[in-house]
Chain A
Amino acid sequence: MLLVKAPLREKSLLGSLSIADIVLALGCAVMVVPTLIKVAELSWSTEQGGHGPIVLATGLWLLWRELKTATVARTRPNRVIGYGALAIFIAIYMLARITSILEVEALAMYGALLSGAYLLIGGALMRAIWFPLLYLALILPPPDTLVFAITQPIKIAISEWAVAILHALGYPIASSGVMIQIAQYELLVAAACAGLNSIVSLAAVCLFYVYLRHRSNPVAFLITALAVVPIAVFSNFVRVIVLILITYYMGEAAAQGFLHDFAGLLMFAVALLTIFSIDSLFSRFISRRRTVARL
C-alpha cells in the first residue's frame, strides 16, 4: 500500500519526490513484486483465487480514494510495536520465502508492509483506512487446509439440500455423500465444481459494494456485511440446482461445457441481485423508521 502513496505524491508534487521516497518505493517493489507474481501464477489462475486481479485493482483504488479524502491527522506511532512487528514479519517472510510456503510468505509480506505503513503514518490514519487494508488482504492465498475444513461441510450440505428439494419436486434424484444420481447421470460435486471455492470471490465483490454503499453508516455496513456469507452459500446453492437441471434436461455434455461457465456467471448475478435487494429493503426500512420517528 506504500506503493500507492508514491505515485500519488508523484502526481501532486512531481519534483519534490525525495531520495527517501524513492528508496522506500524501490524497497517495497523489490519485496512485493516477486511474491505477487508467484501468487498470480499459483492462485489467481484457479477458481479459488480468480478474484485476485479485481480485488487488487479495486482495493488500490479504494485505498487511494480513502487516503485522498482522509481528514485524520497523523499520530505518532509506537516505535516498539512498529519495529517489533516489522522484525517478526520480515523474519517470517524470509523463512517462508526460502522454504517456498507461499501462503505464509504472502501473509508475512503484507504484515511487514502494514507495520512499515504504521511506522510512517501512525495508528489513527491506519484506522481510517482499515477497510481497503482488510479488503486487499483477500488477494492473499488462504491456506488450503483452512479452506477445505470450512468449505467441505457446506459443500456437502448444499448438495444434500439441492437433492432434497428436487426430490420433493418429483425428480428422479438421490445422493450419497458427494455423489448425486439424477436419472441416468451421475454427478460428482467435485472440489472445482461445487463453486464454493468462489466463496471468497463472492464475499469480496459483495463487501466492495456494501462498503461503498454504507461506509458512513456502521450499523448498516455491519448487517449487510454479515449477510455476505449466507448470500454466497445461497448463490452456490442456486448454481448447483441449475447444473443438476441442465444435466437432467440437456445431458452431461451441456452441463460440463459452456453452460457450466454460464452457471458460474449466474451465481455471481444471483449473489449481486440478492445483496441489492437486501440492501434496498434495509434502506427502505431505515428511512421508514426515520419518518416515523419524525412524526
Chain B
Amino acid sequence: MIDEPENGAPENLDRRKILLGLAFASATGLAAMRLPSEPVNYLGNRKLENIVPKRIGEWEFVTASGLVVPPEDQLSKMTYSQLLTRRERWRCRAPASWPMS
C-alpha cells in the first residue's frame, strides 16, 4: 500500500501483508502435516458389553437394570464413548475350575 516515512525507515505494508499471509498459511500447513493421522480408537466397532466377561472371578452377572447412575450430561457424553453398568452377584463357593479373570 502506502509507505509512511514518518520517522525511521519507511514501512513496506505490501511486503508485510504477504509475510503475514505466508506465515499464517505455512504455520497451519506445517501443523496439519505433523498432526497424527491415526485416531486412537481402542474399542472400534466392538461393544463394551460383549468384551467384558459376564463372569469375573467369583462375581456373576445378574442384571443391567436397577442401578443408580448419575444422569448423562454433556461432560460425560463428551468423555466416554460407551458406558457399561452391571449388577453382579458374588458366588460364595466358586468351583476351582472357574476362570479367574
* A residues whose Cβ falls under 8 Å from a Cβ of B: 18-21, 23-28, 30-31, 34, 46-48, 74, 76, 86, 90, 93-94, 97-98, 100, 112, 116, 119-120, 144, 188, 190-193, 197
Contact = CB atoms under 8 A, between A and B. Distances in A.
A120 B27 contact: no
| Closest CB pairs A-B (n = 10) | A27-B21, A97-B31, A27-B24, A23-B21, A20-B14, A20-B17, A31-B24, A24-B21, A24-B17, A27-B25
B84 interface: no
B6 A76 contact: yes
B24 A116 contact: yes
Given A27-B22, A46-B74, A120 B17 contact: yes
Contact of A20 (B4, B18, B75): B18
Contacts of B14: 18-20
Nearest to A95: B31
Given A20-B13, A90-B23, A93-B27, 8 more contacts: A26-B21, A47-B74, A76-B11, A98-B34, A112-B24, A119-B16, A190-B71, A193-B73
A31 B17 contact: no
Given A20-B14, A94-B30, A94-B31, A28 B21 contact: yes
Contacts, number: 92
B36 to A, nearest CB: 8
Interface string B1-33: 100101110010111111011111101111110
Given A20-B14, A76-B7, A192-B73, A98 B35 contact: yes
Interface of B: 1, 4, 6-8, 11, 13-18, 20-25, 27-32, 34-36, 70-71, 73-75
Contact of A31 (B7, B18, B27, B71): B27
Among A19, A48, A116, the most chain B Cβ lie within 10 Å of the Cβ of A116
Contacts of A192: 73-74
A94 B34 CA distance: 9
Nearest to A47: B74
B20 to A, nearest CB: 5
B74 A24 contact: no
B7 to A, nearest CB: 7
A34 B73 contact: no
19 contacts: A18-B14, A20-B1, A20-B13, A20-B21, A24-B20, A24-B21, A25-B21, A26-B25, A27-B20, A30-B24, A31-B24, A34-B28, A47-B74, A112-B27, A119-B16, A144-B75, A188-B70, A191-B73, A193-B73
Contact of A28 (B6, B24, B32): B24
Contact of B22 (A23, A34, A94): A23
A92 to B, nearest CB: 10
Contacts of B13: 20, 120
A31 B11 contact: no
B17 A23 contact: yes
A188 B69 CA distance: 12
Given A18-B14, A76-B7, A94-B30, A30 B20 contact: no
B75 A21 contact: no
Given A76-B7, A97-B32, A188-B71, A86 B16 contact: no
A48 B23 CA distance: 32
A98 B24 CA distance: 15
Nearest to A30: B25
Nearest to A21: B17
Contacts of A26: 21, 25
Contact of B20 (A46, A93, A116, A193): A116
